[in-house]
Structures are given as structure tokens and as C-alpha cells.
Structure 1
């Protein structure tokens, strides 16, 4: 079956669905290392027209709530509608991916806000985004190679390694709802993809990651999160994870939020809201201008930054404030002359203020990396590879070089595309990753024999003619344990009723005794219907956990009847 699927794959396409920007890349089976990206995402028009290899993760809905545009096109069209005062029933959504990060109550009903603060369910937005990327890809591919069919394509969708199991499932379900065949879809962990791509780069980078036995850390620093994995190159060329994935919400959008906080202090919340309602094009110009300044900022070459705002913002603010702009700047808790108007639509900001906007997320990132490197099992890690859009920031690179001792920092060229290009390579050869480290302990809830010498009476329940202990944690694999990508753990049992419910749990620690212990959480349930034509005690069942893949799979099979069922996440029931 596997070989047949491979023979039908003429092309591998990867989607990098980011917090701030998204894009795709692909290569054909006959030349897998010739990876192509879309070259024509355009923003704005006229002299300010920008060309980008990725496009904003923005979705525009028409007045009927239907998909209209994605990316730069969505933002630019909404801006034009706003200028003509025709935008009121249209809805623009931006940067909504972060709703999946550490959402302990994630369901398909989770909601996000549009630019006007109105909420709707997030799931359709993910579906629309992936569907648009897929359609954009298909147009690019079919114009390049005549005769290729959609069924000839294998898809890879990148996800953060630090994401929860349910968030990964959310993305898979969204991709399937976007009409991607689940049999031709793989999820790939973003820092692993970056690691895979670095093996193809110049001698300098390749020497640090491609030599057998080399150990290195990959930091994927994007718009929303920092996603960190640690790998070892094995003698057969595959990757072995040597530390469980970790990270946090330390991406570039938090610098943007600090910038917007300053604008709110200087111009007022009401003026910014009015700007979004009446001059949305100006608002996008402000955010895009700062994005460029943020990415190029460093302390060696930048004593100050000039940010371009808009005359309309100044005029709107003047309606709501009695103080002058200079007086409002003086009220800020910053040194004198740190921010200075140089025209009605420009501010000159000294570098120390810009640095303060980076401080929070980068402090946390560096503290976390240093704590990881201090662990005993990390003593051979001498290289840190920095990728991702925010990883391209010279200031971020400068701080990491100065404050992370004892390691060499490598930033590959086109660091923002390393994940995307590595995902294509992963799609051609998923076996390139051979093992991973478990982030949790996984198991099921089972009954165990009651022992009156060990257990108190309130813990016992009557089941199937005897006293037993309920809600005992049956461990299949433990946190920090290394598992092969093809590793399966199977436990045998027999059914006791027509419907077998197998609750699947995870724990943050290695030795949970009961599923009610602190740190234990119900992930989902496997529901399997058994036959009543055969006595239950004569039927044989197997519950199998399939570990090491990007996603957790749990299957229960009645080997007597041949029926099987897979786990359904509790949040998606």
C-alpha cells in the first residue's frame, strides 16, 4: 500500500500556515531538491507595491459570510471598501492561528475576533485559508506542468512541535474539510522541517548538522511562537530527537503589540478605531511599515527609527485630545527626546525604545534556551540554528549571540522559508525522522484488582462480579521516553459489554497511578461495538498506541470480529 501511494505521487506540496504570514512550496518527484515557492504575493499598489514570498494570514468574508479574499488581497480590498465606506457588512480576520496555542478548552466552536471586534467560529477560517492556499498552488502547478492531476499530489501541513495533540487534530480536520484527501496528507513539525532543510545548505551549516553524532538545537521563531527542538544526526542520516519539544508565545507579534500600545497612548484608542473604520489602507500601511522596520532593526547600525504613520491618524487624535502630541509624548515613562515628531505623519524613535519592545519575548526566549542547555543531557549541543520570520531580525540574532554562551549560532539564508522548504523534503522522505521524545505520559483508564491490604474501601467499585479499583492509569509510554516513528504499543483484553469505551489519558509526569491524579487529562475515547453472538470472554481485544508520528493515533480492535475503532478527541465530539 505504501509503495503504491509513493508511485502515484508526482509532486509534494507543503503549506506553512503561520500566525502572521502563510505560504507554500513544492517540488516534483523527479527532482525533489528543486523546491519552488510562490514568487508573486503582492501588497498595495503603485510605488508602495510590495512583493513577498509569503502572504498575510488574513481572510476577508463578504456580507453573506462567504469567503472572498485571502492574504494581501484580503487586506487591500478591505482597505478600499473602508475608504469608500462600503466595508460595514464585510469582515476581515487576521492573525487568528494563536487561538490554537495552549488553548486548554479547544473545540471546533472556538471563536476569534475580526478587526472590528466581532466574533465568529475559527474553524471555517482555517478551512478557507487552507483551501485558498491549495487552489493557488494547483493553478501554479498546472500552468507549469501539463497533465498533472490533483490526485498526483501529496500534501504536508506544518504545525508547531509544542502544540497540543488536539490543536494538531484541529489543523488536520481543517485541511480535510478544505478537500485535501486525508490519505495524501501528512502533518510535519516545524523545527524538524527546518533541521531537514539545513542539511542541504552550504558547507558551513551542513557541517554542523549533517555529521553523524552531531547534536544541535533548532529554534523556529515565528510571528506567534518560539518552537524549539533538539536533534542528533544518526549514522544512517536520519534525525533523532534528544529532548522533548518546548517553547512559548515569544514571537514577533508581541513586539507589534508593544508598538501598538505606544500608538494607543499617543493617539488614543478611539482614534485608532476610527482609523480602522475610515482609513483602513492607512492602518495597513502603518503596520506594514513597522513590520519592515522591526525586521531590519539592530543596535549597531540603528541609533533611531523613523516610523511613518498617517495624517488622518493625527487629525483623528486631535479631535479627542486637548493636549498636543508633544505633551502626550512627554507624559510617557521614557527618557526625554526618545520619541520626537519630525512631521505630521512621522515619528523619530530612539533605538532604546525599540529595544524595550523586544525585551519581554526575547528575555523569555533566551532564559529558556539557557535553561535547556544547562541540562546534563545537552552537554554535547554546541550549535543553535535560528529560523523563522522573526529569527531573521538582526537584533534578535545579536542578543542571542551575546547572551547564549558556549554555542555557535547559525542563521541560514532565507531563514523564514527554512520550515517550508524542509517540509517539502519531509514529504518526499518522512523516514528522515527516526525517533522522537514523548512530551507526555500516555495510557488508558482500567480496572485493577482490589487489595484490601493496600487500598481503602472508598476506592473500590463492584464490577463484573468482584471488587475492583476504578480509574487506574495503565501506562503505554512515559514522558521523556524515546520512541521510534513506527513504534506501537499494544495491550490485550477482552470485552465485558456490547459497547467498549476506552478512555485515553495523558499525564505531565512519568508515574501516574490514577487518571484522577494531578496533571492527568482525558484526551478522548475509543468506542467499539462488540458482537453479542459470541460470549464476551471468548472475544479478544487489542488496544494499540501508535507513537512517534506527528500525531497521536490510538486504535482498539476486536480481533475476533475484525472490527476496529480509533480515538475521537473529547473536544471534537
Structure 2
């Protein structure tokens, strides 16, 4: 792999054209946003002539008393891996087929969004990354994501046609939401999945979830906030507030400041973790595992999949219901299939009730018929690990001097609707105003529509990492470490490889349309036709010298087409990585010819 020789800062800044997907989308007739959630997903849209009149579709949950503006993030495929259903329909169809014992060759995927966050922490995310269905069968993750996006896209077209609106695809701009804590490969992965689902990349904008929610709340009238909270002065110029976006999978937090003209500036880099609603589910599952054992629970899932799904669906319903502190019984009741109790007794020769008496839950749980009854404090304890993570992280986020005068916490996202979570935040921060919109669970979705109409409303963001490009230079004993001296077999010159050519420093304020300083690169060989070299981030150092220093991490490959070899060694190429938007982009030009050079960053390739 060839690497360019780097010399920096010798030319003044030049203006470069923005990439197509960075342009304002307000010129389109319609903006449609897809909120791709861990547990639930949905879409909303509005027309360019009335951006704030946002339409959300209703989904048939099968329960007449429940009006749902989102549908479960669940994909069902047949034995040939062809798409069958999505959302509530996928759940109903799968449960019917399970009861008819026709599910053995089906693929049932649920809550698979978190794979993008998990892979980023443990291994490399690529287009080859696999995701497992409920029984452990694996398929490429990009295919499953694209099935979901395609379904929501087609559902919009069908709804528009039913209303007599035959909107052409080129008149729609799409917005896809992602957690702000996701890294660049995960964002590019979502863009690839959307492209595979039939959404052209130049008609797609990536929106960060807490930003979208903040935009939505800024536009809400006072009466749309919960009783006891208001936004009379939350969004006044100069005001600072912490955005707590609590979703099913991730918790995203950042601090925003309102600037002149209603623009928003990020004061702290987005951060958080996988402490959302699914953490409550994991804690509940751990309790079951402590009682019946992991082996039994896994076997039960595979043999009685329908009952297993229904158990956790019932828990989800209870989790989302409002807690009644002064209820007569003071207990929570969950439905338990008789087969669960029977299978345990068959396997272990005793009842679950007998086994429970041997655990720490002896005085808290009661198994009766097809029901599991537990004390309310036990049910609330399932929220404790998540609530503690949220509270501790808020404390950390409010510690830096530039945000210490923040006195408002804006809670958005579906998990923020939980009274248990709200109570934990209020108790931990009694001197702060806790502001919660009535539509907290739709804040991200509707805000993403508004963001699509005007992405410039987010005026500035904070660089999460120090970004740089790995380059090579002629070896200089006065500058470079002796151990890095390496003779090039092609031209015999001694070079130092692995130099971290810094483009932006962590913590830097990145304004949306601000041009970063350009970096000048030279080809190593006179006949070189392509420059291909790694992009690195540093999580620990703000100014690393080499790419193999502690905290440095390979992020992806930057490729530059320099097939016009006229000029040989004297060719100079100016490259700029742009960080002001929701995605990292790159532009480059030939200094001699002033021509734009084709460039791209591949964050999803394998290791270099």
C-alpha cells in the first residue's frame, strides 16, 4: 500500500464544494425521517411549504386500547431469506407459525440495532458483520437493516398513494437517525443499508438523536410540556441545558447552548452507553436466570419460542405502564406459560416455587398458576443498574467548567417516559429543572424531520476524537525515532512510516460550514496513480506523533485518485477532512491543475 509524503500548513485555506449529502434539503418537496430504534421504529414526514406540520403514521398493535406511533424493530424472513414481514405484523405472523410448528426454517430478528454499538467496542464493524436471530441463526447485518429501512420506505409510499399523493422519489429527502455516541463506521453502515434499501445516498441525511430531540423541543409550545415543567426560558438565547436522550438501547447525553437566531451549539461531546430500556430487560432476565439457570432458559427459548416471546412482551408492557405507588396489592403480575413451570419440574424434579425459596427472591416472588407476582420494589429494582449509570454520567458531564452553570435537564426518548427513571433523575438533581415534553418518545422522530428541512440549525459540535492520517516522510534522524527508519525497496530511500498527520484535535469546536486547515500531500513515486492511506483516531492524546501510540485506533481508509501522472514527484494534493456535519467527509484537489480529485473514506473495510 502506497502512502503519501506529508507537508502541512504551507498553503492558505481554500474553499471546497460540499459533498452532495451535506447540502440543505429544504429544496425538496418533502422530508421523511426514519427513527430506527432498538425496540421500536417509525417514520414521520412534513412538506417543505409547512415543515412544522408533521405527520406520524399509526400502527396496528393488535390491542384496541393502544395507539402506537411506532412499531417493533422486528424482521421476519422465510427459509430462503426472503422478506416476509416487519413490526407488529412480523410478531403476529411468527407467533402463528410457531404454534403451527412451521417456524424451524424462518429467521426472526429483533432488537438487532445494538450490534452496531457492540461491534464498535469489541471488534471491527464491516459490511460482512453478522447478526443472530432469536434462535442463533446468522445472516449479514446489512441485509437485515436494509429490510427494515425498505419496509418503512415502502410503507410511506403506500400511505401517500392511499391519500392520492403520488410523490416522486426524487422529491423526497430522507433523514435517518443514529445515536450520537455511535462511531463513524456505524454511521456509514446505516448509510450503506439505506442505499441497499433503495434510498440514494445524495438524498439521505444522517441525524444525531439527541440533536433531533433538542430541535423538536425548541419548537414546542408551552402546553406541550408535562405539567410542572415548561420551556418558557429553556430555549432563550444564552441558555444551556443537558439533553438526556434515553432510548431502548442507548443513552445519549450532551449539553447544548442556544445561540442567536435559535441556533444550537454543542458544548460537550456526545457521550453515554448501552444503558437504555433493554438494560432493564437484561436485569429481569438475570433474575430468571438466577432462579432457573441459563441452560434451561436457552432451551426453553428454542423449544417454546412463542411462550418465551410472550413472556418478555408482557414484561415490556408492564415496564411501559405508569407505576401506581398506592395500589392495593403493591405487586406486579406477569403472565407465565404453564409449559415454563412444567418443563422446569420435568428437568429438575421440583417446582419453581421450591427453587425460588432457595434464592434471595424467596420473600419477593410468588408463582401461582400462570402468573408470577412480585413486590413492586423488586420490579423497580430492575431499573436500578440503568438509573445509576444515567445519574453517574450526568454528574460527570456537568463537571467541566464550561457547563457547570447548566441548571436544566431535558429528558427525551421513550425510556425517559418511565416514571422510575424520571424519579431517579429528580432525586439525584433536586436543584435542577427537569423538563419533559409530552411526546418524549416521538421527540427524536419529529425533530429529525425538522433537522432534514434545515440541518444548519445545529451550528457547532465538539470533536469527539483527535483525527489524523497515517503518512510517510523522508527519514530525519533529528526528528524521527531511529527504530522507525526503513529503506524503500523501490527507490532505495530511507523513510519513516506511521506518522500521525493530525487534522483535528479532540474537544475542538467544529462549526458547520467552517473550513479546516488543508494538508498538502505528495506522491512517493513519480508514476503513482492512487494514494491510499489509513485514517486514525486518538482517544487519549490530543497530539500523537505516531499512529501506534497508546489510544490510537485505525478508523478506515482514505483513497485519492491521482491517475493524472503529469508532474511526477512535483504533484501536490490538498486534502481536507470535514467534521462540522454529522458525518466525516473529505475533499481534495490537485494544486497544479486546481481540479477536484475524487476521494472517499471507507470506514467499513477490513484491517489495513
Q: Could you say which TM-score interval applies, normalised by the shorter chain?
A: over 0.9
Which of 535, 539, 543 is the equivalent residue of 2:571? 539
Structure 1 residue 496: deviation in Å? 3.0
**What is the rounded CA distance, in whole Å, between the counterparts of 1:532 and 1:202 in structure 2?**
57
The residue matched to 2:144 in structure 1 has which SS?
helix
Rate the CA distance shift 1:304–1:238 in 2: closer, same or farther, 3 A: same
Which of 517, 520, 528 is the equivalent residue of 1:492? 520
Rate the CA distance shift 1:3–1:240 in 2: closer, same or farther, 3 A: closer
**Partner in structure 1 of residue 363 of structure 2:** 337
**What is the rounded CA distance, in whole Å, between the counterparts of 1:233 and 1:5 in structure 2?**
21
Structure 1 residue 527: deviation in Å? 2.5
Which of 226, 232, 242 is the equivalent residue of 1:207? 232
Which of 309, 315, 330 is the equivalent residue of 1:290? 315
- Asked if structure 2 preserves the Cα contact closer than 8 Å seen for 1:218 and 1:384, the reply is yes
Deviations 1:273-294 (A, max 9, x none): 5654565443333222211211
Deviations 1:47-106 (A, max 9, x none): 7x8542111111111011111111111111111111111111111011111110042311
**What is the rounded CA distance, in whole Å, between the counterparts of 1:433 and 1:153 in structure 2?**
22
The residue matched to 2:448 in structure 1 has which SS?
helix
Which of 253, 256, 260 is the equivalent residue of 2:278? 253
- Provide TM-score, normalisation by structure 2: 0.88
Which is worse superposed, 281-290 or 437-446? 281-290
1:375-524 aligned within 5 A: 375-448=400-473, 450-462=475-487, 467-489=494-516, 490-497=518-525, 498=528, 499-508=530-539, 509-524=541-556
Which of 65, 72, 76 is the equivalent residue of 2:92? 76
- Provide TM-score, normalisation by structure 1: 0.93
Say yes or no: does 1:114 pair with 2:133.
yes
**What is the rounded CA distance, in whole Å, between the counterparts of 1:420 and 1:436 in structure 2?**
20
The residue matched to 1:199 in structure 2 has which SS?
helix
Say yes or no: does 1:222 pair with 2:247.
yes
The residue matched to 1:231 in structure 2 has which SS?
strand
**What is the rounded CA distance, in whole Å, between the counterparts of 1:217 and 1:4 in structure 2?**
28
**What is the rounded CA distance, in whole Å, between the counterparts of 1:105 and 1:63 in structure 2?**
29
**What is the rounded CA distance, in whole Å, between the counterparts of 2:186 and 2:581 in structure 1?**
15
Which of 578, 600, 603 is the equivalent residue of 1:566? 600
Which of 105, 120, 128 is the equivalent residue of 1:89? 105
Which of 3, 8, 22 is the equivalent residue of 2:41? 22
Say yes or no: does 1:551 pair with 2:583.
yes
* Unaligned segments of structure 1, at least 5 residues: none
Rate the CA distance shift 1:59–1:299 in 2: closer, same or farther, 3 A: same
Deviations 1:119-160 (A, max 9, x none): 222111001010011111111122224232122111000000
**Partner in structure 1 of residue 6 of structure 2:** none
**Partner in structure 2 of residue 37 of structure 1:** 56
**What is the rounded CA distance, in whole Å, between the counterparts of 1:363 and 1:139 in structure 2?**
44
**Partner in structure 2 of residue 328 of structure 1:** 355
Structure 1 residue 407: deviation in Å? 1.7
**Partner in structure 2 of residue 319 of structure 1:** 346
* Unaligned segments of structure 2, at least 5 residues: 1-19, 223-228
**Partner in structure 1 of residue 14 of structure 2:** none
- Asked if structure 2 preserves the Cα contact closer than 8 Å seen for 1:9 and 1:154, the reply is yes
Rate the CA distance shift 1:107–1:532 in 2: closer, same or farther, 3 A: closer
Structure 1 residue 300: deviation in Å? 3.4
More contact order relative to length (CA 8 Å, sep ≥ 6): 2
**What is the rounded CA distance, in whole Å, between the counterparts of 1:529 and 1:220 in structure 2?**
41
**What is the rounded CA distance, in whole Å, between the counterparts of 1:88 and 1:383 in structure 2?**
51
**Partner in structure 1 of residue 81 of structure 2:** 65
Rate the CA distance shift 1:276–1:43 in 2: closer, same or farther, 3 A: farther
Rate the CA distance shift 1:456–1:122 in 2: closer, same or farther, 3 A: closer
Runs of 4+ in 1 over 6 A off after TM superposition: 1-5
Which is worse superposed, 519-528 or 410-419? 519-528
**What is the rounded CA distance, in whole Å, between the counterparts of 1:412 and 1:454 in structure 2?**
57
**What is the rounded CA distance, in whole Å, between the counterparts of 2:242 and 2:596 in structure 1?**
44
Deviations 1:186-216 (A, max 9, x none): 0000000000000122335433432001111
Rate the CA distance shift 1:229–1:354 in 2: closer, same or farther, 3 A: same
**What is the rounded CA distance, in whole Å, between the counterparts of 1:3 and 1:81 in structure 2?**
45
**What is the rounded CA distance, in whole Å, between the counterparts of 1:4 and 1:398 in structure 2?**
42
How many positions carry a matched residue from both structures? 568
**What is the rounded CA distance, in whole Å, between the counterparts of 1:192 and 1:95 in structure 2?**
23
**Partner in structure 1 of residue 559 of structure 2:** 527
